[in-house]
Amino acid sequence: MAKDGLRQVGVIDVGGMPYNIAVAGGSGMVHEGEHDHAHDHGDAQIAKGYFEDSQVAGRALSDWAGDWQSVYPYLQDRTLDPVMAHKAETGSMTAAEYKSYYETGYKTDVERITINGDTVTFYENGQPVAAEYASDGYEILTYPKGNRGVRFIFEKSEGDEAAPEFIQFSDHIIAPAKAYHFHLYWGDDRTALLEELENWPTYYPSSLNADEVVDEMLAH
C-alpha cells in the first residue's frame, strides 16, 4: 500500500446493464428522492451519481472527523415526517412509502459515532467500542439504474475486538473534501459490504438539533 494509504483497488459492477462510458456516480448510492441537488461543496452531477473515473481521488479519514449522530431516531419519533412529505411532493412514492423505505435504509443501533485522528468510536446504547483504522482504498460501484458511486474503505489496524474490521463511507463526494453528512457501512467482510445496498445508516453532526437536521434535509 502507498504510504498515504490512498489508492483505487478496483471497480465493481453491482448490477444493471453494462456501460461503455463513464457516466453516473457519486460517492454513494443516490437514494430515491434524495441527493438530486447541487451541494454547496460539490457538483450537482456528482451528487446525482455522474462522474469520470479521473475525478475520483482517495480520501483520508480526516474528511469525516467529528462527532456524528444517527438520524434513525428522528425517523422513528416522526421528526422527519415533514421530510417524507416533501419527498412525496415530487417523488414517485407516498410519504408513508418513503418512511418505510428510509426505515430500512437508516436502521441502526449505533446512535453516535466519533472520529478523531485514526480512531473511530461507535456508541450503542451509550456504550463505546473503538478501534484505529487505515485506508484500504476505494471501490467504484455501478448501480442498476446506471449511476455509480464510490465507497471509501478503511480497515481496522488495532482496537476493540467488537469493532468492525471494515468501515465504508458514502457521502456523495468523490475526492478529498469535508463531509457534511454520510452513510456508513460496517462489518467484517469487505466484499459483502460492497454488495449492501438496502441499509445505509446515516449520520449528521451531533451539534445539530432535531429542527436543524430537518432543515438540512429539506434544503437538500
Each residue of 80-94: pLDDT tens digit?
Answer: 999 999 999 999 999
Joined together, the cell numbers standing for residue 181 give 453528512
The pTM (predicted TM-score) of the whole model is 0.82
pLDDT at 2: 38
Q: Domains of the chain, with CATH numbers? A: 8-219 (2.40.128.20)
Distance CA 119, CA 131 (A): 6
Of the pLDDT bands very low, low, confident and very high (cuts 50, 70, 90), residue 9 is very low
Per-residue pLDDT reduced to its tens digit, 163-193: 999 999 999 999 999 999 999 999 999 999 9
Which residues make beta-bridge pairs with 138?
8, 152
Q: Which amino acid is at 28?
A: G
Q: How confident is the model at residue 37 (pLDDT cuts 50, 70, 90)?
A: very low
Distance, CA of 194 to CA of 134 (rounded, Å): 18
CB within 8 Å of 11: residues ≥ 6 apart: 53, 139, 140, 142
φ, ψ of residue 205 in degrees (nearest 5): -55, 135
> Strand 66-70 and strand 119-124: pairing?
unpaired
Q: Which of 41-55, 106-120, 156-170, 184-198 has the lowest mean pLDDT?
A: 41-55
